[in-house]
Amino acid sequence: MGNAELVAMMLADGRLPTGGHTQSGGLEPAVRAGLGADGKQLADVAAYARDRLRTTTRVEAAVAVLTRHIATSSHLSGTKLSPGDENVPKNGPRLSERAATLGPVEAAWAARTPSHVVRGVSRRQGRLLLRLARRVWPDVSAYLPNDGEIARPVVLGVVGAVTGLSAEQVARTIAYDDAQTVISASLKLLPVDPADAATWLAGLHDDIEWLVKDVAPLTRIDEIPADGAPLIDVFAHNHAIERMRLFHA
């Protein structure tokens, strides 16, 4: 299982082979739409990342926290697969039962993510994370099918449950990863001084901690926030049909 703090650091590492290098957190289409145009007002990158933390990222962090809570409760109640049951067919009754308990969380996430483009991006990322997690933390297979496109926060919540991450660590991982994805992408999209980029990320720490305190206590699906960012959705749809792009999303 390993040390939970080190697991959280590993999950937040952009070099983890889950396709994170292909993501800009929507910054690329935002730049194309005028953010930081002509190298001016580059600090708008930090404002954009902060807006994500307060809207779409807050939703994803809450979903990951709820997933972790449900998976942990399932484990404590004895419904988790026992050692040696990994050979049970992935569609077997016990796995189906646990998948059913997580289904409503994914449905709640989908209802709060109106853009099919954004949902598709998250599920592709979730598939890559699940592929990696099955190798590194095989216990995730007791909660999720071995193949399939599942929302990334759901997969990360399960990883958090099987590796002993706290709700705060799960929420912080989601929040930090989103912020650093945006800030890192700015280095490739705009004339940004790397020291300035690091300063912007450090300046988001209070916003990240506010998000953590806000969502970490959640234990019911109806408590998942429904914050939205329609312009980010518009950017995502425009980017999906862009013929020349540096990042996938």
Residue-wise pLDDT for 39-63, tens only, equals 768 889 999 999 999 999 999 999 9
Contact between 98 and 49 under an 8 Å Cβ cutoff? The reply is: no
* pLDDT at residue 84 in the model: 37
Burial class, 195, CB count within 10 angstroms (exposed 0-12 / middle 13-18 / buried 19+)? exposed
- Residue 186 CA, distance from chain mean position: 19
Q: How big is the CA angle at 76 (ends 73 and 80), to the nearest 5 degrees?
A: 90
Question: What band does 96 get if pLDDT is binned at 50, 70 and 90?
Answer: low
- How much is the pLDDT for 85? 40
The structure tokens 């997580």 sit at 102
Amino acid at 168: E
Q: What is the pLDDT of residue 91?
A: 43
Question: Could you give the domains of the chain?
Answer: 4-12+24-32+41-240 (1.10.4190)
Mean pLDDT, all residues of the chain:
87
Phi, psi of 123 (to 5 degrees): -70, -35
- pTM of the predicted model as reported, rounded to 2 decimal places: 0.88
Q: What angle do CA 165, 115, 214 make, to 5 degrees?
A: 35
Instruction: Kindly indicate the confidence band of residue 82, based on its pLDDT and cuts at 50, 70 and 90.
Output: very low
Count H helices, E strands: the chain?
A: 11, 0
75-79, Cβ contacts within 8 angstroms, sequence gap of 24 or more? 75/161
- Higher-pLDDT residue of 69 and 101 is 69
Confidence at 239, pLDDT banded by 50, 70, 90: confident
